[in-house]
Amino acid sequence: MLMSLERKGAASIAALFPPFSSTKSLIAKGICMNDIPDLPAHLSQRLIGELDLSTRAYNALSKHGVRTISDLVKLSDEEMLRLPWFGTKCLNEVHQLTQSLLLSSARDHATPKEGFDLAELAQSHPKDASTSLPTDYSLSEWAVPTPAKGDLDTPIERLHLSPRAAKVLGYLGIKTIRQLLRCPKNALRKQPNFGRVSLYELERKVFDSLEGSHQHDFSLGTKAFTARLLACLPERQQRVIADRYGLWDGIAETLQDIGDKLGLTRERIRQIEDKSLRRIRGRFGLHIVVAFLRATFSEALSHRLSGCAGILSEDEAMQGMANDCTLEEAALAVAFMRDICPTEDDIFGLCLRKVGDGVYCVEPETAERYEKVLGLIESGLEGRGGPVAEGKLCDEVLERTRASEHLDWRPLIQRVLAVSPSLTRLRNGTVCLSGWTEVRGRDYPSLAVTALVALGRPAHYKEIWEKAMALYPRLGELSIHAIHNRLTSRSDKFVWVGKGTYGLKAWGLKRPPYIKDKLTELLSEAKYPLPYWHLKVKVLEVCNCKEESVRMTLDLNPRIFRKFADDQYGLREHYERRTHRQG
C-alpha cells in the first residue's frame, strides 16, 4: 500500500510501479489504482486531462464519470478493463502516466503555491522578482511574472490568442489580464473545447506579455531598440518589415515589389505587415515605445541638446533620436514606431507637449511660458504692423514678464524667436510675423514646392534644398533632412521619380513602375533574352528597390521569366511561342 508522498520518496514509488509489458502481470501482482489511499490533496483534485491520455482512454474514463485523479484511483484494474473501448493498452497507458505524475510530485517535495493575490500584484513594482514558466505547471496557479499595476489592465485582444481560446474568454466575459488572473484554471478547463493545449497557450502568452512589459533597457540607442522590437518576429516577418520601411538601407519598397521577390501577392504581404505590427503591439505595447522616447529625449537634453531651454524643434528631436545611427536611419525608425502606435499622428507628441507646428516642450510649465512669450511677441508685432528690431522686441517682452515671475526669460525669448514657425528673423536684424512674408518661416513643404516651381523640373532632394537656401537666405541654414522628410512623407504634394529625385504631383507625374512590370516591359521590347546586369541597371534607374530584389523577382516568378545560359533572362511566353511554332 502506497504511503504518503511526504513520507516516502521517489524510489519507493518507483518500486511499486516496476517496468511492465503486459496487464496480466500487473493484475497478477495485485497492483491497481485504488491501492493509493493516501493520495496527496494537491494531486487528488487535478484533472485527468493533465495525464496526457490518448483520446480513447480519456473518452472512456470521462463517460464513466471520471474527472479527477481522485476518481481515477478509486477504480480497480478489472473495473477499468470492463469499460467500453478500454483495453490493456489503455490500462498500460494509465499506469505509466500516473507513475510519471507521482514521481514528478515526489521530486518536488512541495505543494503548489497558492494563486496570486491581485491586490499585492497591483502594488508590485515591475522590477520585482518573477516566476518562470514551468514545463509541468499546476492548474491551481497562474505561472506568470509579477506584473505592474497598469499591465493588469492590458486587453486580452493584445495577446492574439487562437480563435478557440478567444471565444471561450469572450463567452466568460474576460476582457483584461486582471480578470483572467481572477479566473481559476479549473473553471476554464470545464469549458467546452478548452483543453490542455489552449490553457498552455493562454498561460504562455500572458507570461510573454507581462514579461515583455517591463524587462527593457531604455538606455539602448534608437537602432538597437528598433532591432529589439523586430526580434520578436519570425525571420520572414522581420524581412518584410525591414524592406517595407527601408531598415536600414533607406530603400522602402512597395507591397507589390516585396511580393514579387518573395513569390507572394501584394495582399499577402500587406497581411504579413499588418500581422507583424499587431504582434509587436501585443508583445510590447504603446507604453514601451513612449517610455523609450522619454528616456531618449531625457538623455539628449541632459547631454547633447543642453541650452535649448526645454524647447525642441522637430529637427532637434530627430537629432536626439540619432544616438547610435544617422539622421536618415533615425527617420526610418521613427516612421516604423509611428505605425506601431497608430493612435497618434505625431509620435513626438506622445511624450512631449506640442506647442506649435514642429515645436515641442518637455515640461508643462515650459509650454505655458512658451505660449505666454509667443503671445506677447505676436501682439507687439501686430500692434506696430511691421518688423521690429530683435533687441527692442526682447526688451519689451522682458519688461512685461518680470512683473509676474522672478525668472530669467531672455533664453526662453531667444528660443521662441529661433524655433517658432509663426515668427521670421530677417537679415537686417528685425523680426516679423511669418504671415507677412511670401513663405511661412520654415514651412518646409512650401519651401520645397517653391524650389521645384523655380527649377521647373524634377530634381534631387539636395538640389531642392540648395535652391530653397538660395531663394530664402534670410531663413538661415535649412535642414536638408527636414526637406527630404517632407518630400517622402507628403505624397499629396510630391512624387518620387527616381533615386532621391522628386517632382510635383501637380505636374501630372506618376509613380515609377513596379520591378516586375519594368522587367516585363524591357524583355517585351527586346523579344529576346537579356543579361542580368543589363536588366539590373535599367530597373534601378527607375525603381526604388534593392539590387537583390531584381534577382529575386526574376527567380521567384518562373511562370513569367525564364533563365537561360550565361545569366540571361527572357519572358517564358516568348520561348513557349517559339517552341510551339517549331513543333
- DSSP secondary structure string, 47-61? BGGGG---HHHHHHH
Angle at 361 between CA 358 and CA 363, to 5 degrees: 165
499's CB contacts (< 8 A; 6+ apart) are 540, 544
68: DSSP letter:
B
> Residue 45: which of 143, 140, 115 has the closest Cα?
140
CATH 1.10.10.10 location in the chain: 363-434
* pLDDT of the residue at 151: 62
CATH 1.10.150.20 location in the chain: 141-212
For the stretch 312-317, contacts whose Cβ atoms lie closer than 8 Å and that sit 24 or more positions apart, written own/partner, are: 312/352, 312/359, 312/360, 312/361, 312/362, 312/419, 313/358, 313/359, 313/360, 313/419, 314/348, 314/358, 314/359, 314/360, 314/482, 315/358, 315/479, 315/481, 315/482, 317/348, 317/352, 317/360
Kindly state the cell numbers that stand for 26: 500487473
Q: What is the CA radius of gyration of the chain?
A: 35
The topology (CATH level 3) of 141-212 is DNA polymerase; domain 1 (1.10.150)
112: DSSP letter:
P
Distance CA 220, CA 289 (A): 12
pLDDT in tens, the chain (583 residues): 333 433 434 333 334 444 433 333 333 333 445 444 456 666 666 777 667 677 788 888 888 888 888 888 888 888 888 888 888 888 888 887 777 677 656 544 443 333 333 333 333 333 333 333 333 333 346 766 665 444 677 778 767 778 888 888 888 888 888 888 888 887 888 888 788 788 877 877 777 666 655 556 677 888 989 998 898 888 899 999 999 888 888 788 888 899 998 888 989 999 999 989 888 887 776 777 877 888 888 777 776 666 777 888 887 888 888 888 888 888 888 888 888 876 555 678 777 888 887 788 878 888 888 888 888 888 888 888 778 888 888 888 888 776 555 667 888 888 888 888 888 877 778 888 876 754 445 678 888 888 888 888 888 888 898 888 887 776 777 888 888 888 877 878 888 776 678 888 888 777 778 888 889 889 988 888 899 999 999 888 878 788 888 999 999 888 899 998 889 999 988 776 555 555 5
Q: Are 285 and 578 in contact (CB under 8 A)?
A: no
The values of phi and psi at residue 522, to 5°, are -65, -45
184's CB contacts (< 8 A; 6+ apart) are 115, 139, 140
User: Helices in 323-460 by DSSP H: which ranges?
Assistant: 327-340, 364-384, 390-402, 410-419, 444-455
CB atoms near residue 305 (< 10 Å): 16
Give exposure, 104-140, as e/b (b: 16+ Cβ within 10 Å): ebbeeeeebeeebeeeebeebebeeebeebeeebbbb
Distance CA 315, CA 321 (A): 10
> Residue 337: which of 319, 355, 353, 349 has the closest Cα?
349
User: Coil, strand or helix: which one is 441?
Assistant: coil
* Residue listed under C-alpha cell 520591378: 515
Would you say domain 515-582 falls under CATH 2.60.40? no
Q: Are 498 and 251 in contact (CB under 8 A)?
A: no
Q: Which CATH code, of 3.40.50.1970, 1.10.10.10, 3.10.450.750, 2.10.25.10, is assigned to 363-434?
A: 1.10.10.10
